[in-house]
Structure 1
Amino acid sequence: MEERRAVHLDHAPVNDAAYLDEATLLVAARERPGTGRRDGGVAAFSALTGDLRHRFRVAHDRHVRSYTPGALAFDSRCKVFASCKGRFNEYGIGVWDCTTGEQADFFYEPPGCALGDADKLQWLDGTSTLMAATMFPRTDSSFISLLDFRDKKNVAWSWSDVGTPASLEDKHVLHAIAMEDGRSLCVINQYDDLGFLDVRSSGGAGGVRWRSRSKLAARKKKAGPRGEETCYPKLAAHGGQLFASTNDTISVFSGPDHVLTSTLRGSDAGAICDFSIGGDRLFALHNEENVVDVWETSPPPII
């Protein structure tokens, strides 16, 4: 693989990055306190040259404000979304036109719905809604919402683990994705259990349907050196398959019953902190610096 020119936004720490298309890279960088400047924010760069194309500003009451973005997402109509935290409690989801870089909307955080801290955003084409998930340990409780940006902006569906029965209260949702069928969400907890939420039921009635998969973890989790970054489980859905990273392994599930069909384990470079699927390749980033594993993705098996 060819390494391309590195990009940065005021040398601020990066919270998220995503390819808008093969020629455009989006970067979300957090504001550095005490600088007195409007650094950080969201920007679009040329993926080939690294040149800055657009800087996405946030305005409230027609005044441009500094903000710290968290997670990124985009839809098929060239709208870019980012969870935003402003200096004056201006929390919510910012929306921009990816062609012009102009702000198109802002979904302010309603009571009991932690949008500004959301660490996972995903656009759902089937329902034209945006999934916003704020999860443990960023907050003490986990919140997942589906946001409708049409006419009257509203929360179309939401779920939280606040008030969970005592028998389940120690299970914290660490990551979430919307399944490709658009009817359910998949979540994973600190015990590497997979769970499913039906978004067709009001307010997540019935709660999470947990499926224990601890027996699938072939290796015990090893404690890393003191001060080493903690890597939490991550999920992805692609080509009808479900992918879950736990420790140094990525498990692949297929079919309507999500049967475990393969396990990927690469470099002995510590836990997998993040992974992404692009085209026919899967990329896994380890917590050991500068170690990335790459797999060619195979077509889903016939179940």
Structure 2
Amino acid sequence: MGTPNGRVKLNVGGRIFETTATTLEFAGENSFFRAMLDDNWNSAITEHFIDRNPDCFGVLLDLLRTGDLYIPPKIDKKLLYKEAEYYGILDQVWSAECAKFDGNRPRLARSLTGWSVRDGKISRAIHASPTGWCCVAHGSMAHVYDWMLEERPTINLDYHKVNDVHWVDSNNIVVSSNEKLDNGGMGLFNASTGELSYKFQVTDVLKGYRAGALGFNSDNKLFSSCNNANNGHGIGVWDQVTGKQINFLNRSPYRRQSYASRLQWLHDTNCMMIASFNPRNDISLYDVRNDKVVWSWSGVYAPNSYDVQDEKIFRDATAIEESNSICIVDWNECLGFMDLRGDGTINWRNSIKDVNPFSNWEYRSNNCYPKLAFHEGQLFSSLNDTITVYSGSDLVPTSQFLQSHGGPICDFSIAGDRLFALHRNEDVLDVWETPRGLTIS
């Protein structure tokens, strides 16, 4: 294709562009230009016509030439993103525009509105994709937003409340619901179309159970907390490729545990962290390969945690593999750290917030549980409408950020270059980013 020295002439919407095959190769294997660079495709053509927007093409061509993205004020960003999607170079635009998310340098990129999350009985959970997409559980539906923050077709579970959502790859989402597992209470959905790919199969032992919190490991195994009407608890294990159930963990300490609220895969140790928050505080590490519990901790039992005045009832937990520890957070946003090599002793730290103890039920019922996340060496903790960031080897508080409206944050999720924060009192989903120019090495 083109001339012997590699020059390529493109007519885009009536405007002529000249570039080289080497420049177009930076578009990648899955781009629009891959076929054009194939020597077996129309090699005699010296000028190729592309019926697209020439202004946007010029910006994208400069991105391929230099690696930098400059969008002139006259060009609509959404249109540019659409054009980049057409050419198959949206990933390059994303990488050029935003860095990995840094909690010390956040920028509110956009607030999404248009649906209500006011009903306290409606499930509210959010999960971000490494490619900049996110999925929000809301009642019996899951709303999916793509990288351009446009809503894709809604996943509808026919009036069965969504319990959890989780990305298995850039194209597929697993959704768990209040429907019994033997009736199809957990399914794999296409993120772009909202269509059901398949329902996860169950053996007789899980008939009558419902799926809750989800987790995944690097060997294509899907884990889900399960419970039934007889107060039976356990962890179901599936092959996420075939949808077949391969195990059910209901031995001690799972029989002792409450319904698991958080599952997190630890890559370095091949273990799954299983955490339960109510009515008992329990955490354990399950070794997947050897099928055994390698570490466990049990805390305060509180049938009604609102009545407990001074006890440290934690509301979320996250494993920090870098320090071989687990961080927990209580109602006051006090952080506790447990060394996984020790006896489970908790080292408590006070929050940087100047707050009163949240011991009364009225305050707690009007706010949301604190949430935790660990991302790129930083610990994030939400309380009310604010997210606090802890950095450095000692995880000291370094910054806070909040939105001026939206009310308490009921959940947030970080992946790639974005943090998504879901508010309870208003129909607001905040999207935070770190612009490329603010990154410091």
User: How would you bin the TM-score normalised by the shorter chain?
Assistant: 0.7 to 0.9
Are the counterparts in 2 of residues 109 and 115 from structure 1 also a CA contact under 8 Å?
no
Corresponding letter in the other structure for 1:271: P
Tell me how far apart the structure 2 counterparts of residues 280 and 273 of structure 1 sit (CA, whole Å).
Answer: 21
Tell me how far apart the structure 2 counterparts of residues 66 and 255 of structure 1 sit (CA, whole Å).
Answer: 46
Corresponding residue of 1:126: 268
TM-score, normalising length: structure 2: 0.59
Select which of 312, 327, 334 maps to 1:171: 312
Are the counterparts in 1 of residues 233 and 255 from structure 2 also a CA contact under 8 Å?
no
Corresponding residue of 1:279: 416
TM-score, normalising length: structure 1: 0.84
Select which of 338, 347, 371 maps to 1:209: 347
Number of positions where the alignment pairs a residue of Structure 1 with one of Structure 2: 284
Corresponding residue of 1:157: 295
Corresponding residue of 1:248: 385
Select which of 229, 250, 273 maps to 1:108: 250
Corresponding residue of 2:179: 31
Are the counterparts in 1 of residues 185 and 211 from structure 2 also a CA contact under 8 Å?
yes
Corresponding residue of 2:406: 269
Are the counterparts in 1 of residues 380 and 389 from structure 2 also a CA contact under 8 Å?
yes
The equivalences for 1:1-303 within 5 A come to 1-31=149-179, 38-39=182-183, 41-60=185-204, 65-87=207-229, 90-111=232-253, 114-115=256-257, 117-135=259-277, 138-139=278-279, 141-151=280-290, 153-162=291-300, 170-181=311-322, 183-202=324-343, 204=344, 207-213=345-351, 215-217=352-354, 230-297=367-434
Distance 1:249 1:301, change over 3 A: farther
Tell me how far apart the structure 1 counterparts of residues 400 and 356 of structure 2 sit (CA, whole Å).
Answer: 12
Distance 1:171 1:149, change over 3 A: same
Are the counterparts in 1 of residues 335 and 349 from structure 2 also a CA contact under 8 Å?
yes
> Tell me, what secondary structure is at the counterpart of 2:203?
strand
Distance 1:68 1:219, change over 3 A: same
Tell me how far apart the structure 1 counterparts of residues 362 and 342 of structure 2 sit (CA, whole Å).
Answer: 44
Structure exhibiting the larger radius of gyration computed from Cα positions: 2
Tell me how far apart the structure 1 counterparts of residues 323 and 218 of structure 2 sit (CA, whole Å).
Answer: 15
Per the TM alignment, residue 59 of structure 1 is displaced from its structure 2 partner at its CA by: 1.3
Instruction: Work out which structure has the larger RCO, using CA pairs closer than 8 Å and 6 or more positions apart in sequence.
Output: 2
Unmatched runs of 5 consecutive residues or more in structure 2: 1-148, 303-308
Among the aligned pairs, what percent are the same residue?
A: 43
Corresponding letter in the other structure for 1:54: Y
Tell me how far apart the structure 1 counterparts of residues 273 and 363 of structure 2 sit (CA, whole Å).
Answer: 35
Distance 1:218 1:183, change over 3 A: same
> Tell me, what secondary structure is at the counterpart of 2:150?
coil
Over the residues paired in the alignment, what is the CA RMSD in angstroms?
3.0
> Tell me, what secondary structure is at the counterpart of 1:142?
strand
Unmatched runs of 5 consecutive residues or more in structure 1: none
Per the TM alignment, residue 162 of structure 1 is displaced from its structure 2 partner at its CA by: 3.9
Corresponding letter in the other structure for 1:160: S
> Tell me, what secondary structure is at the counterpart of 2:322?
coil
Per the TM alignment, residue 260 of structure 1 is displaced from its structure 2 partner at its CA by: 1.6
> Tell me, what secondary structure is at the counterpart of 1:201?
coil
Tell me how far apart the structure 2 counterparts of residues 131 and 260 of structure 1 sit (CA, whole Å).
Answer: 25
Are the counterparts in 1 of residues 226 and 236 from structure 2 also a CA contact under 8 Å?
yes
Are the counterparts in 1 of residues 336 and 348 from structure 2 also a CA contact under 8 Å?
yes
Query: More helix per residue: 1 or 2?
Result: 2
Distance 1:220 1:106, change over 3 A: closer
